[in-house]
Amino acid sequence: MTKVSGKEIVALKNRVCSLFTHDDWLDIAYITGSEELVKGHYRLLQSLHFRDDDYERSALEVLKSIADQDKNNIQEIRDFIESKYPDNIELKSPLTTGLPKLPPAPQLPNPPTYPKISLMSPAKNQFEVSQQKDMDIFISHSSQDANVAKLLIDLIRAAFNMSARRIRCTSVDGYRLPAGASTDEQLKKEVHDAKVMVALISASSMDSTYVLFELGARWATSLPFVPLVTNNLGTQLLKGPLGGINALNISSTAQVHQLISDLSSFLKLESESPAVYQDKIEVLVETLLNGVLPIEAEKIRSVSSVSDIDSIKSYCESQWPEDFSMRIHCVKVQKEAAANMKEPKPSDIPNTVFQNIIDKAVREWPDDYTMQVHSRDEQIAAYRELQSM
CATH of residue 251's domain is 3.40.50.10140
299 part of a folded domain: no
Interval 359-386 mean pLDDT: 91
Band (pLDDT 50/70/90 cuts) for residue 70 is confident
> Both 183 and 270 in a single domain?
yes
Domain boundary among 42, 70, 92: 92
CA-to-CA distance for 303 and 301, rounded, in angstroms?
5
Alpha helices (H) in 202-292, listed in sequence order: 209-221, 253-267, 274-287
The reply to whether 54 and 191 lie within a common domain is no
Place 63 in a pLDDT band, splitting at 50, 70 and 90.
Answer: very high
Longest dimension (CA), the chain: 104
Q: 43 and 178: one domain?
A: no
Domain span at residue 166?
131-277
Domain total of the chain: 3
Does residue 144 sit in the same domain as residue 265? Answer: yes
Q: Examine the domain organization and report whether 85 and 136 are in the same domain.
A: no
Lowest mean pLDDT among 267-276, 290-299, 337-346: 290-299
CA distance 275 to 282: 11
Q: Quick one: 88 and 136 in the same domain?
A: no
Q: Which residues contact 97 (CB under 8 A, 6 or more apart)?
A: none
User: Is 285 part of a structural domain of the chain?
Assistant: no
Is there a domain that residue 24 lies in? yes
Average pLDDT, the chain: 81
Please identify, among 249, 277, 305, the residue that sits at the C-terminal boundary of a domain: 277
- Identify which of 75, 71, 73 has the alpha carbon closest to the alpha carbon of residue 90: 75
Is there a single domain that holds both residue 167 and residue 251?
yes
Question: Are residue 135 and residue 88 in the same domain, yes or no?
Answer: no
Q: Of 245, 261, 277, which residue constitutes the final position of a domain? A: 277
Q: How confident is the model at residue 89 (pLDDT cuts 50, 70, 90)?
A: low
At 206 the pLDDT is 82
> Best-predicted range by mean pLDDT among 44-53, 64-73, 154-163?
154-163
* 311 domain-assigned: no
Same domain, 164 and 217: yes
pLDDT at residue 347, as a whole number: 84
pLDDT of res. 30: 85
Residue 243 placed within a domain: yes
- Looking at the structure, tell me whether residues 250 and 160 fall in a common domain: yes
Has residue 366 got a pLDDT over 60? Answer: yes
